[in-house]
Amino acid sequence: MPGLTGYIVRRLLLVPVVLFVVSVVVFALGRLTPGDYVEIQAGSRARPETIERIKEERGLNDPVYEQYARYMGDFLTGDLGKSVIYRGADVQEVIFPRLWITLQYNAVVLLLTFAIGIPVGTWAALKRGTWLDPLAIGTFLVFASVPVLVTVPLLQWLFAVKFGLLPSGGWEAHNYLGVKLGIFSRQIILPVIVLTLPGVAGIARYMRAQVLDVLDQDYVRTARAKGLKEFVVVNRHIVRNALLPIATIMGFELSGLIAGSIFLETLLGIPGIGLYTFEAIGSRDYDSIMAIVLVGTAAFLLANLLVDIAYGFIDPRIRLSGGPA
């Protein structure tokens, strides 16, 4: 697939440009906003000359562009800096284990969101014009309208305090063939429920719109005119063709889940990247904030690239090079 190869190369060439722009913006915002981690750690009783001496030793009084050049030079060699929260620890040693925790339950949420949202959206579209259509979509819209800050305490009280069915928070991982996994523990149930139910509404509504569009196509009417069973028509002709645009939002859905993990992990005490991001922002941990943003941006770009590549395999008519089908 020469067209696919050229498309991948063009997209990969854009990755350094996007990362550069993001890094400049985030670095400037971190350095130009009032306050820094030296003042926060030293406290209000520290003498001004002591704070200035520490800033001078750590290069925080240098011009912003010099600080940026020094940081990016270290970043390109694999040095993501030192963590302020975990003093003396390398940032990469802190964020990657936490990122692994966040990705575990988010992968389960993403799978369940599409596994539930696609059938719900399809069923709602097939029941258009009846009361079952708004009921199916409206039920999940109720969950989507409630903020995480309200959902988490409510479910903690219901499942942990009232009935004692689930732990109120935390994270428990076990070794499976040398890999630490927490997706088989009871601690994962609560965060999965909190993130899955609101996410189903968006997928279901999008799938419903796509199915309604496909229902009016000639090939669907032809399939029914041939006498095919409704189950075969729905699965082979309707759902299959409606699924293609759904792949577009997979990358955006994953990035949205990780962003929502900041509040979720803070409330549930899950030691993931979301909780660490919240702590890093509060502590003005510049190196950690930069590393989290750059790694997250690279992962987002990679996820969307993989989705676009999958288009060429899902539907052979699509030419990613922009040529005619």
Residue at 325 is within a domain:
no
DSSP state string for 33-45: SS--HHHHHH-TT
Sheet strands (E) in 162-224:
174-176, 179-181
Residue at 302 is within a domain:
no
Residue at 99 is within a domain:
yes
Residue at 320 is within a domain:
no
**pLDDT tens-digit readout, 29-87:** 877 776 666 766 666 676 777 777 877 777 777 888 888 888 888 888 888 888 878 87
- For residue 26, pLDDT over 80 is answered with yes
Residue at 190 is within a domain:
yes
How many domains, in total, are found in the chain?
1
Nearest to 104 by CA among 190, 172, 194, 183: 183
**pLDDT tens-digit readout, 78-112:** 888 888 788 778 888 889 999 899 989 988 998 99
**Higher-scoring residue by pLDDT: 210, 248:** 210
Please give the pLDDT value at position 123. Answer: 92
- For residue 10, pLDDT over 60 is answered with yes
Please give the pLDDT value at position 44. Answer: 63
**Higher-scoring residue by pLDDT: 143, 50:** 143
**Any idea how long the chain is?**
325
What's this model's pTM, rounded to 2 decimal places? 0.82
Please give the pLDDT value at position 324. Answer: 42
What are the structure tokens assigned to 293, written together?
């943003």
Nearest to 191 by CA among 255, 265, 249, 101: 265
Please give the pLDDT value at position 41. Answer: 65
Read off the CATH number of the domain in which 256 is found.
1.10.3720.10
Residue at 65 is within a domain:
no
Q: What is the distance between the alpha carbons of residues 318 and 324, in angstroms, rounded to a whole number?
A: 8
Nearest to 299 by CA among 95, 90, 31: 95
Mean pLDDT value of segment 124-138: 89
**pLDDT tens-digit readout, 281-316:** 877 888 888 888 888 888 888 877 777 777 666 665
**pLDDT tens-digit readout, 178-211:** 888 888 888 999 999 999 988 898 899 999 988 8
- For residue 325, pLDDT over 50 is answered with no
Please give the pLDDT value at position 307. Answer: 76
Q: Would you place residue 323 in the very low, low, confident or very high pLDDT band (cuts 50, 70, 90)?
A: very low
Residue at 203 is within a domain:
yes
**pLDDT tens-digit readout, 160-177:** 898 888 888 889 888 888
Residue at 188 is within a domain:
yes
Share of the chain above pLDDT 90, in %: 14
What are the structure tokens assigned to 313, written together?
């395999």
Mean pLDDT value of segment 260-277: 88
Please give the pLDDT value at position 318. Answer: 57
Burial classification of residue 275, based on how many CB atoms lie within 10 Å of its CB (0-12 exposed, 13-18 middle, 19 or more buried): buried
Distance (Å) of CA 286 to CA 44, 49, 84: 20, 22, 8
- For residue 320, pLDDT over 50 is answered with no
Looking at the DSSP assignment, which residues form a beta bridge with residue 90?
Answer: 82
Please give the pLDDT value at position 314. Answer: 62
Please give the pLDDT value at position 108. Answer: 92
Domain span at 172? 91-282
As a whole number, the mean pLDDT across the chain is 82
